[in-house]
């Protein structure tokens, strides 16, 4: 018998959760991580100026799942943080999701009540009972003018596709508000880890039954006795790579990545909000500017911001949900389903745009379905 019962590929949310659960149950777990650090895209670190930043973009935790909330609280203290986003439109900063303030600012109106906002929306919305793509989904919510100003070109910047080329689900991530609520999310639990995400992952993976090997590409070691000898494998990498891209020879399974332009400024703050979106192509090719000190409230005489540009090159971050990619993914999924004792977990292996809490939830649910209920009550 090999030294490890369980091998986990990828030390992000899904992999770390499964590693932690199995380790607590007494299994010996090997975690293989290609990058030089744990935490996946949640990884954060102090930059050269001593400012805590998220190296792969902002991660705002929000959930309705009580079990997930209880679980993440085992590994870190959390402080309440309700995320808000502003978008620069027509030279003004307006709340996104669209709410009464957004409409009043951009249309020079003074709507005051939900009823007035609802009447405005009834006038502008282009009803689609079952939107077939992102454009229909957005038009059904906000109508033509707001669609053009806030969604169409931002989506092109982010996905290199217009909304009509994407599934409705992509733009349905953003609600519309008929009141003054300017929070990005409305979930019951919204918080950030007091010492950052990396510390949380260190705690999750710190169990003595877990060995983490960084800078280790699973595909370089998959044929070693140690890896082959395990009882179960959890794979959180891109699904097409696992199958050697064999269904992507004619048409690639598409992914989007982000290029970050980091700038540290000799002033305490740069912008009035943590995230400002730039839907207007005239403002530049970047989608948004993030200023990290707004999240952490870190006291520092300087501030670090990042401009985000989404690209086709680089590590895969986002699956691109549309019918063409779904068809390719389904071929991989059929093969994945035929494998016993290999489980495909997380955003990259399921080709699904999961939020952080969904990734935790799926990993916990998978563990319970494979191993039965957890005596600790999760």
Q: Which stretches of the chain bind ligand UDP, using CB under 6 A?
A: 87, 96, 150-151, 154-155, 158, 170-171, 173-174, 277, 279
User: How far lies 106's CA from each of 94, 115, 237, in Å?
Assistant: 8, 19, 43
Q: How many residues does the chain have?
A: 378
Q: How far apart are CA 147 and CA 133, in angstroms?
A: 13
Q: Tell me how far, at minimum, the Cβ of 147 lies from ligand UDP, in Å.
A: 9
Indicate left, alpha or beta for 300 from its phi (over 0: left) and psi (-120 to 50: alpha).
Answer: beta
**Token output for 228:** 């082959």
Q: Tell me how far, at minimum, the Cβ of 252 lies from ligand UDP, in Å.
A: 20
Nearest CB to ligand UDP, comparing residues 336 and 348? 348
Q: Tell me how far, at minimum, the Cβ of 282 lies from ligand UDP, in Å.
A: 15
Residue whose token pair is 């939107």: 131
Q: Tell me how far, at minimum, the Cβ of 12 lies from ligand UDP, in Å.
A: 16
Query: Following CA atoms 14, 20, 21, 23 in sequence, which dihedral angle do they give, to the nearest 10 degrees?
Result: 140
Nearest CB to ligand UDP, comparing residues 6 and 58? 58
Q: Tell me how far, at minimum, the Cβ of 339 lies from ligand UDP, in Å.
A: 30
Nearest CB to ligand UDP, comparing residues 155 and 322? 155
Find out whether 248 and 328 touch, Cβ atoms under 8 Å: yes
Find out whether 52 and 298 touch, Cβ atoms under 8 Å: yes
| Helices of type H across 112-266 | 114-124, 134-146, 153-159, 168-172, 197-204, 218-221, 225-228, 239-242
Nearest CB to ligand UDP, comparing residues 243 and 260? 260
Find out whether 218 and 235 touch, Cβ atoms under 8 Å: yes
Nearest CB to ligand UDP, comparing residues 93 and 221? 93
Nearest CB to ligand UDP, comparing residues 117 and 171? 171
Q: Tell me how far, at minimum, the Cβ of 288 lies from ligand UDP, in Å.
A: 8
């Amino acid at each position: 018998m090999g030294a490890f019962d369980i091998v986990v590929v990828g030390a992000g949310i899904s992999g770390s959760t499964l590693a932690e659960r199995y380790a607590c149950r007494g299994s010996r777990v090997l975690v293989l991580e290609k990058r030089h650090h744990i935490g996946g895209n949640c990884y954060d670190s102090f930059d050269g100026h001593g400012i805590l930043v998220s190296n792969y973009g902002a991660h705002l935790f929000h959930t309705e799942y009580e079990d997930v909330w209880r679980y993440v609280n085992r590994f870190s203290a959390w402080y309440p943080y309700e995320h808000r986003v502003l978008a620069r439109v027509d030279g003004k900063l307006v709340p996104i999701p669209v709410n009464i303030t957004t409409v009043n600012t951009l249309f020079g109106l003074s709507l005051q009540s939900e009823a007035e906002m609802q009447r405005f929306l009834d006038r502008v919305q282009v009803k689609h009972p079952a939107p077939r793509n992102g454009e229909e989904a957005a038009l059904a919510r906000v109508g033509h003018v707001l669609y053009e100003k806030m969604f169409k070109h931002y989506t092109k910047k982010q996905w290199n596709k217009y909304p009509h080329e994407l599934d409705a689900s992509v733009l349905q991530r953003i609600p519309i508000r008929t009141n003054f609520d300017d929070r990005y999310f409305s979930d019951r639990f919204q918080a950030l880890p007091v010492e950052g995400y990396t510390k949380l992952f260190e705690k999750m993976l710190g169990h003595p039954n877990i060995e983490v090997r960084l800078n280790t590409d699973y595909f370089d070691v998959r044929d070693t006795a140690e890896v082959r000898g395990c009882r179960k494998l959890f794979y959180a990498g891109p699904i097409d790579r696992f199958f050697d891209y064999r269904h992507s020879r004619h048409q690639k399974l598409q992914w989007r990545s982000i290029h970050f332009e980091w700038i540290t400024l000799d002033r305490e703050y740069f912008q009035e909000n943590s995230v400002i979106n730039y839907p207007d192509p005239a403002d530049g090719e970047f989608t948004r500017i993030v200023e990290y000190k707004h999240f952490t409230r870190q006291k520092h005489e300087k501030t670090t911001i990042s401009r985000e540009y989404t690209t086709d090159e680089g590590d895969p971050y986002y699956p691109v949900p549309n019918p063409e990619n779904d068809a390719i993914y389904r071929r991989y999924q059929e093969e994945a389903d035929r494998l016993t004792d290999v489980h495909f977990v997380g955003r990259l292996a399921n080709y699904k745009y999961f939020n952080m809490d969904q990734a935790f939830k799926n990993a916990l649910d998978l563990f319970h379905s494979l191993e039965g209920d957890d005596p600790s009550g999760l």
